[in-house]
């Protein structure tokens, strides 16, 4: 019989062949490296039998499908190990997550870090056994009877919640049996490199009404080398944690009086103001007009925008003169009021309104995370109103602006184009035209991008920018969204060439996204060692002894006159200690001043990351630093 491969070629195989045997028929290497496969687009175990005419595809560990299956199987192996070590354990769920997996356990024993080592040793033993993963399909009643008999109440609850008639499958490896859709790797011996990472508590099914279970987070990779690289990246990320560095560098704090509401300290405000001033400079370059809209607006506006009905659980409310008001979670509705304030002609378009707008959103306390997830943040929003024929050119301009910003911070980035979702407003023709405009803009600029089918906003297609930081992590920041809904909801119009009223097209765009979150990303991207133009303190002036203080303050004064942020550290501490502290605080330049420097009216320069640069006159260093700052170095 024949099966059809991914490339469309047909392959002769024996009747009753498994996917693993199909892999061997293609080549021996694929037989060794295949992890999982698809038959007619359904992900299945390699033991699955193919039929004549089936379309088949095979995946190795270098594919998302292969890696997810590998980690899913790793979770089962970890659960088996826990069950052998702690026989009273009842099992929750063990899904794959980004960079690993976890499993939730209910046991009287309280796990400790030492237990993780024991579990890892037991996993090693299970891997050596190389027992196969065996799939069985059973009836609902049989499954309920089996798990009830074992006292596995969590599995029983999951089965009871399944739709009647849905296929129920279980997987067994060795003596461990679990409710699972699969698929899995062929046997436990496939697991090569793994690490149990952390312990946490987790309510069953995420509800505070349920029992708190013990969760073990773990990860697995194809090789020890890849695992070690991942663990190194995690250690590097810990060193760069913006919450830790934010405290050490005196940038921001979040106090118990305001969870989710960051307080920016003086040095943090310097950094923030530099970023906002930089963006405002781009507003002039790219012809934006800046606006400011109120933080609190009447309920009627939020009903008109749709937020009152669809976003209420994330909003804060108040009453003024017995009327309902809401604190804005988004800037868009206020900007619609600005546009409606006057009548517009087609000759004015495009109109580009930019706003550094403070918004508030109610986030659950469990998801708050430093500056990355907060309840109050500032968005660098802009809304562009244009004629429909202007869409492509405006999109290109925004993309060029985004590119300029991210290059300034040495970010690589990936672009994702999201298309029409199932539930979308507007005609298919309108969506197709808008999506094509976005594609053409990206193509004209020669940008590579991925299509994210069906993941556009309900009001229009969008382009998202995913930044890659200095240790390879990605962050979604910038976005460009076409919106067909807001102009309709707010009855926006312009007077056309024919004298009649017409509906404008509209783009939402953000580049930083959230200023607070972008600052958090920058702290981690640079590890707190900001480029000179962003550094809150740009120069530490350190006198060797008290007799050098007067000249040190003169140097600081000259630097400040030139707009360079400088401080004098004349504390009664050893010179080496003060120099080291300047390095710990990640100050870009340290000027040491002793007898020679006072006599020659110069400074001895130490540059972060480079060491001693020798002595230069004050006028020379002012020119040097001013040029570096101007070039955003």
In order of their start, the domains of the chain are: 2-60 (3.10.20.30), 65-237 (3.30.980.10), 261-292+329-526 (3.30.930.10), 294-327 (no CATH), 539-630 (3.40.50.800)
Query: What is the pLDDT at residue 422?
Result: 81
pTM: 0.82
pLDDT at 474 over 90: no
Query: What is the pLDDT at residue 291?
Result: 97
pLDDT at 465 over 90: yes
276-330 confidence digits (pLDDT tens): 999 999 999 999 999 999 999 999 999 998 888 888 899 999 999 999 999 999 9
Query: For a pLDDT cut of 70, what percent of the chain falls above it?
Result: 100
The answer to whether the CB of 267 falls within 8 A of the CB of 523 is no
Query: What is the pLDDT at residue 470?
Result: 81
Question: Both tokens of residue 271?
Answer: 């950094």
How far is 510 from 405, CA to CA, in rounded Å? Answer: 11
More confident residue, 505 or 310: 505
Residue 150 has a CB neighbour count (10 Å cut-off) of 13
Q: How confident is the model at residue 259 (pLDDT cuts 50, 70, 90)?
A: very high
How far is 132 from 18, CA to CA, in rounded Å? Answer: 15
Query: What Cα–Cα distance (Å) separates residue 550 from each residue in 545, 557, 563, 576, 593?
Result: 11, 11, 20, 20, 10
Q: In what order do the strands lie in the sheet with 611-617?
A: 566-568, 539-543, 589-593, 602-607, 611-617
| Residues marked as catalytic | 332, 361, 379, 381, 383, 462, 508
pLDDT at 2 over 90: no
Q: How confident is the model at residue 455 (pLDDT cuts 50, 70, 90)?
A: confident
Q: What does the pLDDT average to over 457-477?
A: 86
Q: How confident is the model at residue 432 (pLDDT cuts 50, 70, 90)?
A: confident
3: enclosing H helix or E strand? strand 2-4
318: enclosing H helix or E strand? strand 316-320
pLDDT at 25 over 90: no
Residues 6+ apart with CB under 8 A from 227: 193, 194, 195, 219, 220, 221
225-258 confidence digits (pLDDT tens): 999 999 998 998 889 999 999 999 999 999 999 9
pLDDT at 469 over 90: no
Query: What is the pLDDT at residue 390?
Result: 93
More confident residue, 426 or 592: 592
More confident residue, 582 or 484: 582
């Amino acid at each position: 019989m024949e099966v059809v491969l991914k490339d469309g070629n047909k392959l002769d195989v024996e009747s009753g062949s498994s996917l693993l045997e199909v892999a061997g028929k293609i080549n021996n290497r694929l037989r060794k490296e295949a992890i999982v496969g698809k038959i007619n687009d359904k992900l299945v175990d390699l033991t699955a039998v193919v039929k004549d005419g089936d379309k088949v595809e095979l995946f190795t560990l270098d594919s998302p499908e292969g890696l997810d299956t590998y980690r899913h199987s790793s979770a089962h192996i970890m659960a088996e190990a826990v069950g052998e070590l702690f026989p009273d354990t009842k099992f929750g769920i063990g899904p794959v997550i980004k960079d690993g997996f976890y499993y939730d356990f209910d046991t009287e024993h309280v796990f400790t870090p030492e237990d993780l080592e024991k579990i890892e040793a037991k996993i090693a033993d299970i891997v050596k056994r190389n027992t196969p993963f065996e799939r069985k399909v059973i009836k609902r009643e049989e499954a309920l009877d089996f798990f009830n008999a074992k006292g596995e109440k969590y599995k029983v609850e999951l089965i009871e919640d399944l739709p009647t008639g849905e296929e129920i499958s279980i997987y067994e490896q060795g003596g461990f049996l679990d409710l699972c859709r699969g698929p899995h790797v062929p046997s436990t011996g496939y697991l090569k490199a793994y690490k149990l990472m952390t312990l946490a508590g987790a309510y069953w099914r995420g509800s505070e009404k349920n029992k708190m279970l013990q969760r073990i987070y773990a990860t697995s990779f194809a090789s020890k080398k890849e695992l070690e690289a991942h663990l190194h990246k995690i250690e590097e990320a810990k060193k760069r944690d913006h919450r830790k560095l934010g405290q050490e560098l005196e940038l921001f704090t979040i106090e118990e009086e305001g969870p989710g509401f960051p307080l920016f300290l003086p040095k943090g405000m310097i950094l923030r103001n530099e970023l906002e001033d930089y963006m405002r400079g781009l507003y002039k370059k790219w012809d934006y007009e800046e606006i400011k809209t109120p933080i609190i607006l009447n309920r009627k506006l939020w009903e008109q925008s749709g937020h009152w009905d669809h976003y209420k659980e994330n909003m804060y409310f108040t009453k003024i003169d017995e009327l309902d008001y809401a604190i804005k979670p988004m800037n868009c509705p206020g900007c619609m009021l600005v546009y409606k304030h006057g009548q517009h002609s087609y000759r004015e378009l495009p109109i580009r309104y930019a706003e550094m707008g403070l918004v508030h959103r109610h986030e659950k306390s469990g998801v708050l995370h430093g500056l990355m997830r907060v309840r109050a943040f500032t968005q660098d929003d802009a809304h562009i109103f244009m004629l429909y024929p202007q869409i492509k050119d405006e999109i290109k301009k925004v993309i060029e602006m985004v590119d300029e910003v991210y290059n300034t911070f040495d970010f690589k980035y990936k672009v994702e184009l999201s298309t029409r979702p199932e539930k979308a407003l507007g005609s298919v023709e309108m969506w197709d035209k808008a999506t094509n405009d976005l594609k053409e803009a990206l193509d004209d600029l020669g940008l590579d991008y991925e299509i994210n089918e069906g993941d556009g906003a309900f009001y229009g297609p969008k382009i998202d920018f995913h930044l890659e930081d200095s240790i390879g992590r990605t962050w979604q920041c910038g976005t460009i969204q076409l919106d067909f809904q807001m102009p309709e909801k707010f009855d926006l119009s312009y007077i056309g060439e024919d004298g009649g009223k017409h509906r404008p097209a509209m783009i939402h765009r953000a580049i930083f996204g959230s200023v607070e979150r972008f600052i958090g990303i920058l702290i981690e991207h640079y590890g707190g060692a900001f480029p000179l133009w962003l550094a809150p303190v740009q120069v530490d002036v350190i006198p060797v002894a008290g007799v050098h203080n007067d000249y040190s303050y003169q140097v600081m004064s000259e630097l400040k006159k030139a707009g360079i942020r400088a401080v004098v550290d004349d504390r009664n501490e050893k010179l080496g200690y003060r120099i080291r502290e300047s390095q710990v605080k990640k100050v870009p330049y340290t000027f040491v001043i002793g007898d020679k420097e006072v006599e020659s009216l110069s400074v001895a320069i130490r540059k972060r990351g480079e060491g001693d640069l020798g002595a230069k006159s004050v006028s020379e260093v002012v020119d040097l630093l001013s040029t570096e700052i101007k070039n955003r170095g």
